[in-house]
């Protein structure tokens, strides 16, 4: 095997590496996940552990935790992948074949192996525009839709437009929530942009206070040029669902401070709590009328969440409205440099936004599978919320939506001291101990950001109901033992 050679001969060393890459962190795939992978390898080699398997509760990977694919989605994907044989098969329903034929007919050479237009197949963007119009009650044009390699890619494409290309206090400032999905902090670190952290109100169901937005913005102005505000609704990692009033106040704040709005709405199908309802930022913005309905807004959707959970296909879309025409041309140019998103991922988004309709052969099965997935998530959201609030030393806001709980740990002073002695944050110390003793892999709250002096962790609600009950039982035993140890 060839030698790596001496460091002095390398163009890239830790000293010469882009410093923005070095400071970038992504907690949901961080050190604790690396340790979980190592433990899995140890178990395969016969290591003696107090558990038989590692439970990956660190990431919203639906199918990895046992959720079954939606049949109709996979049928259409199979048909567009191998049409010569499967289109002739009686095992595939006509409505699936009809959608597959439309997708293939839009592809060059009738093959999903060909490049598409850079923003994605027009036929699919037409269906997405129809879906958004029906959801919101306002017009949507296919030209405002850009398909992307998962929502993350779409988000980064918009963030790129907002950069100033200048250093220091001239850097672009982007308002991001705390706690937040670490894609945002990682991307801003990579782009050398300035994160303007605003705290969600844990005492008010992780709601968003305008007074806090003003505080964060005013304190940041000396360090950057504020350009945009990002809102995640339903929330990740916090699981809250914003009220319409809350969204209206955010829009007014953004207008007053001339901020571009980035609405991360990938969990729009995942709303469980009684009285909670998803309102898209576009719908609310349009309802508010002049002057708000001409504001710049980018909203994001994904194939990875909802009832679909098709993470591996990397499907998503961005809708961008009210861009300056010259900026829109530059945005299209930047997208064209990526050639096109995966066509199979585009096909998943097509099915999501153009599902079987009443009277079509697949309607009943599709509806039943969709409702079953969402009903199970609803049950698990209530189960997790109830369990955490029944344990001494933990409080947890209701999981109103999305796929996670973000419980707060009320740790004894001795545990905090032990964490410091170990060179870890207290929540990391807790999560590593949980992993080593139970095999349950979670993410420390510090990886998402949290108010100083508070400690949390994020756990998915995705494992199947019986497995989740078992996991929560092991968790409870560990927690009580941990608290007693450091009392």
What is the mean pLDDT of the segment spanning 433-461? Answer: 90
Query: How far, in Å, CA of 319 to CA of 297, rounded?
Result: 8
Q: Are strands 316-321 and 145-148 parallel, antiparallel or unpaired?
A: antiparallel
Least Cα distance to 444 among 426, 460, 471 occurs for: 426
Least Cα distance to 112 among 153, 80, 159 occurs for: 80
Query: How far, in Å, CA of 272 to CA of 400, rounded?
Result: 5
CATH number of 104-353: 3.40.640.10
Could you report the per-residue pLDDT of 128-154, keeping only the tens digit for each?
Answer: 999 999 999 999 999 999 999 888 889
Query: How far, in Å, CA of 129 to CA of 353, rounded?
Result: 9
Domain with CATH 3.90.1150.10 in the chain: 19-66+368-485
Is a pLDDT exceeding 60 seen at residue 7?
no
Instruction: Place 483 in a pLDDT band, splitting at 50, 70 and 90.
Output: very high
What is the mean pLDDT of the segment spanning 197-202? Answer: 94
Could you report the per-residue pLDDT of 255-275, keeping only the tens digit for each?
Answer: 999 999 999 999 999 999 888
Q: What average pLDDT is seen over the chain?
A: 90
- Write down the residue that tokens 């998943």 correspond to: 348
Q: What is the pLDDT, as a whole number, of residue 1? A: 46
Instruction: Place 31 in a pLDDT band, splitting at 50, 70 and 90.
Output: confident
Query: How far, in Å, CA of 327 to CA of 202, rounded?
Result: 38
Could you report the per-residue pLDDT of 319-352, keeping only the tens digit for each?
Answer: 999 999 999 998 998 888 888 899 999 999 999 9
- Residue 467 main-chain phi, psi, to 5 deg: -65, -40
Q: What is the pLDDT, as a whole number, of residue 26? A: 53
Could you report the per-residue pLDDT of 350-388, keeping only the tens digit for each?
Answer: 999 999 999 999 999 999 999 999 999 999 999 999 999
Specify whether the CB–CB gap between 74 and 94 falls below 8 A. Answer: no
Least Cα distance to 28 among 188, 186, 235 occurs for: 186
Query: How far, in Å, CA of 470 to CA of 116, rounded?
Result: 46
Could you report the per-residue pLDDT of 36-85, keeping only the tens digit for each?
Answer: 888 889 988 888 888 888 888 887 788 888 889 999 999 999 999 999 99
For the entire predicted model, the pTM comes to 0.90
Q: Which fold has domain 19-66+368-485?
A: 3.90.1150
Cross-strand partners of 231: 263
Query: How far, in Å, CA of 283 to CA of 207, rounded?
Result: 20
């Amino acid at each position: 095997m060839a030698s790596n050679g001496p460091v002095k001969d390398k163009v890239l060393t830790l000293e010469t590496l882009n410093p923005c890459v070095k400071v970038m962190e992504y907690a949901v795939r961080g050190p604790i996940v690396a340790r979980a992978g190592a433990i899995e390898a140890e178990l395969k080699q016969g290591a003696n552990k107090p558990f038989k398997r590692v439970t990956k509760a660190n990431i919203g990977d639906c199918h990895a935790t046992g959720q079954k694919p939606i049949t109709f989605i996979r049928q259409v994907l199979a048909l567009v992948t191998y049409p010569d044989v499967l289109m002739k098969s009686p095992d595939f329903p006509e409505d699936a074949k009809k959608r597959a034929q439309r997708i293939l007919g839009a592809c060059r050479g009738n093959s999903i192996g060909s490049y598409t237009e850079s923003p994605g197949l027009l036929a699919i963007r037409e269906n997405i525009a129809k879906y958004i119009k029906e959801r919101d009650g306002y017009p949507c044009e296919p030209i405002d839709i850009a398909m992307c390699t998962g929502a993350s890619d779409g988000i980064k494409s918009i963030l790129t437009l907002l950069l100033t290309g200048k250093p220091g206090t001239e850097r672009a400032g982007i308002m991001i929530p705390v706690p937040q999905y670490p894609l945002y902090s990682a991307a801003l670190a990579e782009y050398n942009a300035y994160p303007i952290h605003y705290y969600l109100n844990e005492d008010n169901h992780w709601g968003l206070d305008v007074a806090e937005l003003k505080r964060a913005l005013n304190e940041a102005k000396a360090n950057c040029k504020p350009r945009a505000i990002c809102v995640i609704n339903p929330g990740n990692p916090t699981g809250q669902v914003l009220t319409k009033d809350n969204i209206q106040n955010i829009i007014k704040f953004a207008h007053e401070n001339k901020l571009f709005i980035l609405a991360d709405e990938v969990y729009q199908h995942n709303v469980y709590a009684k009285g909670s309802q998803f309102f898209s930022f576009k719908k609310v913005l349009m309802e508010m009328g002049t002057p708000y309905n001409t504001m710049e807004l980018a909203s994001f959707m994904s194939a990875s969440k909802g009832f679909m959970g098709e993470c591996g296909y990397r499907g998503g879309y961005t809708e961008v409205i009210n861009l300056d025409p010259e900026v829109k041309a530059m945005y299209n140019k930047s997208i064209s440099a990526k050639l096109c998103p995966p066509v199979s991922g585009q096909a998943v988004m097509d099915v999501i936004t153009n599902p079987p309709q009443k009277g079509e052969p697949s309607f009943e099965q599709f509806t039943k599978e969709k409702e079953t997935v969402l009903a199970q998530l609803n049950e698990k959201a209530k189960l997790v919320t109830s369990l955490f609030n029944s344990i001494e030393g933990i409080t947890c806001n209701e999981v109103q939506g999305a796929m996670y709980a973000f419980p707060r740990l009320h740790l004894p002073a001795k545990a905090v001291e032990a964490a410091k002695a170990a060179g870890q944050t207290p929540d990391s110390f807790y999560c590593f101990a949980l992993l080593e003793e139970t095999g349950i892999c979670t993410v420390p709250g510090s990886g998402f950001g949290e108010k100083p002096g508070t400690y949390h962790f994020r756990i998915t609600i995705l494992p199947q109901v019986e497995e989740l009950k078992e996991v929560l039982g092991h968790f409870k035993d560990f927690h009580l033992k941990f608290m007693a140890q450091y009392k």
